[in-house]
């Protein structure tokens, strides 16, 4: 178990040392908040959707957590290229512990980043309904972080260089975000869109977070939590399998 | 004496290329075994198979009585390794790299708090212990990797060209320590090198491999007699030819190796 701890701590140590990355990762959420949030707010309100910032903020927080933790998962590719993965993989530590340590590290880093963005949304005028709902919100956020870091790690395990990164980011991660109900409500959608958003696990993350913050939800929060936990377990099993196939 | 390492008809192919071809050898517990060969001969591929990083295409192998393919965990508990290629985390300090390794290998705090300073002293990095590895020169990184490989006391220690890029003083120092480790703790040493004087000084037995095949195996005297030369270096050249080699092998892996070497 100490192996999980040291892998987690390494991720955290590396994170706090890269200030430029911490600041850099705040850029995109801020642009979203300002350009899309304030830009579409008048139309959203006219359409009877209420305050758009209030609607969008949970989506942006999820976006931050999703992108950050996927990226941390993909750092495995760097470890491979710099040879550090060999050092980890010859150690007498079961693969699931290595994966879990990395995933927990990635998720923790993403949570910190998500918390920073949460603070920014507060400045932009976002207000949670009850402050007492914050623990539930962060629980949902943590599930999102675990799911996406496991996803990133499982995908990265079999890739040899970062050249595949744009492919994964543009064709997998971005669609997962845009089709998750983060920027538009999952109501009255065309059938295909409705289907896609419902099989996207991150829809349940966004919805759960929105429920915790504003009491608005499409799915039952229990369903959302169950879907996220279920997907995490499946991805974890897939990740352990991927890790066991790695040859260096 | 029991065999701590055994291979039987060990073969590894990368596509059409056979990196290790039907290799059979064994190493006894407590030996210092030199595994020699020109670049691209199949040394590192063999070590990678023994250390669970690569799966053999065919053949059998055992390390400390465990099959690295099916009993990975037990096999991993048996060895330590200094890789040929870089394997440090550049964003961590020297001490943090050591600590990471120690905890990964289950050393207790009281053990590693004693051993890390001792080993950093051995490789002359005591005053650099809190510096980031990314600020280190190639030689310093190598010394740190060796210190790290010596942290836990395994049954078998693999050293894949450990002294590459090191000055004679450091090499002398490190080999003395390894010899002591071998004699006092009975740690089996399996090493590769291109410095024949290290082999003459250290090895109890030698195997020479080329094009994936073992050419000869035995004590240094055996090999000198067989080749009819006075020096091991001459015997090596006589047996493996004087042509200069490229590092062949898996093209993608090789590209990574080359770029890794340049990153040092």
The domain spans of chain B are 3-78+154-263
Strand partners, B18: B13
| In the predicted structure, residue B249 carries a pLDDT above the cut 60 | no
* Strands across the sheet containing B213-218: B79-82, B156-160, B188-192, B32-36, B205-210, B213-218
Radius of gyration of chain A (CA): 18
Selected residues 67-86 of chain B with any CB under 8 Å from a CB in chain A: 73, 76-77, 79, 81, 83, 85-86
Instruction: Measure CA of the first residue to CA of the last residue in chain A; give whole Å.
Output: 24
d(CA B190, CA A164): 37
| In the predicted structure, residue B248 carries a pLDDT above the cut 60 | no
Residue range B240-255: mean pLDDT, rounded: 62
The beta-carbon contacts of B126-134 under 8 Å, at least 24 apart in sequence, are B128/B94, B129/B93, B129/B94, B129/B95, B130/B93, B130/B94, B130/B95, B131/B93, B131/B94, B132/B90, B132/B91, B132/B92, B132/B93, B133/B88, B133/B89, B133/B90, B133/B91, B133/B92, B133/B93, B133/B94, B133/B97, B134/B90, B134/B91
Task: Using alpha carbons, select from B106, B227, B264 the residue that is nearest to residue A6.
Answer: B106
The tokens of A199 are what?
Answer: 């099989």
What's the CATH number for B3-78+154-263? 3.40.50.300
Does the beta carbon of A189 lie under 8 angstroms from any beta carbon of chain B?
Answer: no
Of the pLDDT bands very low, low, confident and very high (cuts 50, 70, 90), residue A19 is confident
- Identify which of A82, A93, A247 has the shortest CB distance to residue B55: A247
pLDDT of residue A161: 83
Min CA distance, A167 vs chain B (Å)? 20
d(CA B68, CA B79): 11
The tokens of A15 are what?
Answer: 């994170």
Q: For residue A14, which residues of chain B lie inside 8 Å, CB to CB?
A: 89, 91-92
pLDDT of residue B261: 46
Does the beta carbon of A3 lie under 8 angstroms from any beta carbon of chain B?
Answer: yes
Q: For residue B254, which residues of chain A lie inside 8 Å, CB to CB?
A: none
d(CA B125, CA A96): 34
Q: For residue B96, which residues of chain A lie inside 8 Å, CB to CB?
A: 10, 13
- Identify which of A84, A94, A247 has the shortest CB distance to residue B89: A84
d(CA B11, CA A106): 38
**What stretches of A151-233 adopt beta strand conformation (E)?**
none
Residue range B147-165: mean pLDDT, rounded: 92
The tokens of A169 are what?
Answer: 């980011």
Contact B103 A87 (CB under 8 A): no
pLDDT of residue B3: 93
Of the pLDDT bands very low, low, confident and very high (cuts 50, 70, 90), residue B47 is very high
pLDDT of residue B246: 65
Per-residue pLDDT tens digits for A187-208 = 889 999 999 999 999 999 999 9
**Count of the separate structural domains present in chain A:** 1
| In the predicted structure, residue B107 carries a pLDDT above the cut 60 | yes
Q: A2-17 and B94-104 are packed helices; what angle lies between their axes, rounded to 10 degrees?
A: 160
* Strands across the sheet containing B3-14: B17-28, B3-14, B58-63
Minimal-distance CA residue of chain A relative to B82: A87
Yes or no: say if B24 and B14 are a contact pair by the CB < 8 Å rule.
no
Does the beta carbon of B87 lie under 8 angstroms from any beta carbon of chain A?
Answer: yes
Q: How many pairs of residues across A and B have Cβ atoms under 8 Å apart?
A: 81
Task: Using alpha carbons, select from B4, B2, B8, B28 the residue that is nearest to residue B204.
Answer: B28
- Identify which of A89, A93, A94 has the shortest CB distance to residue B53: A89
pLDDT of residue B51: 96
Per-residue pLDDT tens digits for B9-27 = 999 999 999 999 999 999 9
Structural domain range at position A148: 2-245
Residue range B188-207: mean pLDDT, rounded: 95
Per-residue pLDDT tens digits for A151-199 = 999 999 988 888 888 888 899 999 999 999 999 999 889 999 999 999 9
Of the pLDDT bands very low, low, confident and very high (cuts 50, 70, 90), residue B1 is low
| In the predicted structure, residue B254 carries a pLDDT above the cut 80 | no
Which residue in the block uniquely carries the two structure tokens 């091991």?
A: B232
| In the predicted structure, residue B112 carries a pLDDT above the cut 50 | yes
Does the beta carbon of B12 lie under 8 angstroms from any beta carbon of chain A?
Answer: no
Per-residue pLDDT tens digits for A20-65 = 888 988 999 999 999 999 999 999 999 888 899 999 999 999 999 9
Torsion, Cα of A25, A28, A29, A32 (10° steps): 180
pLDDT of residue B256: 47
Phi, psi of A156 (to 5 degrees): -65, -30
| In the predicted structure, residue B260 carries a pLDDT above the cut 60 | no
Per-residue pLDDT tens digits for B60-102 = 999 999 999 999 999 999 999 999 999 999 999 999 999 999 9
pLDDT of residue B247: 58
Does the beta carbon of A13 lie under 8 angstroms from any beta carbon of chain B?
Answer: yes
Per-residue pLDDT tens digits for A100-127 = 999 999 999 999 999 999 999 999 999 9
Task: Using alpha carbons, select from A75, A32, A53, A73 the residue that is nearest to residue A178.
Answer: A32
Min CA distance, B145 vs chain A (Å)? 10
């Amino acid at each position: 178990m100490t192996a999980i701890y040291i892998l987690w701590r390494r991720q955290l140590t590396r994170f706090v040392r890269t200030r430029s990355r911490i600041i850099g990762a705040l850029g995109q959420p801020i642009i979203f908040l300002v350009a899309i949030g304030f830009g579409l707010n008048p139309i959203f309100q006219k359409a009877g959707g209420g305050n758009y910032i209030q609607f969008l903020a949970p989506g942006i927080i999820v976006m931050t957590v999703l992108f950050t933790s996927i990226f941390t998962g993909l750092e495995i590719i760097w470890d491979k290229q710099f040879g550090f993965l060999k050092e980890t993989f010859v150690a007498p530590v079961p693969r699931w512990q290595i994966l879990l340590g990395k995933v927990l590290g990635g998720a923790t880093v993403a949570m910190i980043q998500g918390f920073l963005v949460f603070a920014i949304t507060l400045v932009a005028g976002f207000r949670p309904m009850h402050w007492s709902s914050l623990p539930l919100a962060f629980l949902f956020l943590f599930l999102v972080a675990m799911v996406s870091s496991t996803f990133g790690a499982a995908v990265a395990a079999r890739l040899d260089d970062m050249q595949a990164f744009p492919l994964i980011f543009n064709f997998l991660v971005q669609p997962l975000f845009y089709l998750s109900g983060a920027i538009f409500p999952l109501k009255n959608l065309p059938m295909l869109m409705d289907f896609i958003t419902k099989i996207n696990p991150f829809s349940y993350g966004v919805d759960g977070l929105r429920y915790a913050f504003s009491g608005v939800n499409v799915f039952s929060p229990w369903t959302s939590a169950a879907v996220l936990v279920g997907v995490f377990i499946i991805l974890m099993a897939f990740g352990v399998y991927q890790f066991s196939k790695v040859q260096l | 004496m029991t065999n701590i390492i055994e291979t039987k008809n060990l073969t590894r192919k990368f596509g059409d290329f056979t990196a290790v071809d039907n290799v059979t050898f064994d190493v006894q517990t407590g030996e210092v075994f030199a595994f020699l060969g020109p670049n691209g001969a199949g040394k590192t591929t063999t070590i990678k198979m023994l250390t669970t990083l690569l799966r053999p295409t065919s053949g059998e192998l055992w390390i400390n009585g465990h099959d690295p393919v099916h009993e990975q965990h037990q096999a991993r508990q048996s060895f330590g390794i200094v890789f040929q290629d870089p394997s440090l985390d550049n964003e961590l300090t020297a001490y943090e790299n050591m600590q990471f390794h120690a905890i990964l290998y289950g050393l207790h705090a009281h053990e590693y708090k004693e051993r890390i300073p001792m080993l950093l002293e051995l490789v002359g990095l005591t005053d650099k212990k809190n510096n980031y590895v990314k600020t280190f020169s190639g030689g310093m990184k190598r010394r740190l990797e060796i210190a790290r490989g010596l942290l836990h006391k395994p049954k078998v220690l693999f050293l894949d060209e450990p002294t590459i890029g090191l000055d004679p003083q450091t090499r002398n120092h490190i080999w003395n320590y390894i010899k002591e480790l071998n004699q006092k703790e009975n740690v089996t040493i399996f090493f590769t090198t291109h410095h024949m004087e290290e082999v003459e000084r250290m090895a109890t037995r030698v195997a020479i491999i080329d094009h994936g095949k073992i050419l000869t195996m035995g004590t240094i005297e055996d090999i000198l007699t067989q080749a009819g030369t006075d020096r091991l270096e001459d015997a090596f050249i006589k047996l493996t030819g004087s042509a200069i080699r490229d590092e062949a092998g898996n093209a993608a892996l090789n590209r990574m190796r080359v770029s890794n070497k340049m990153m040092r």
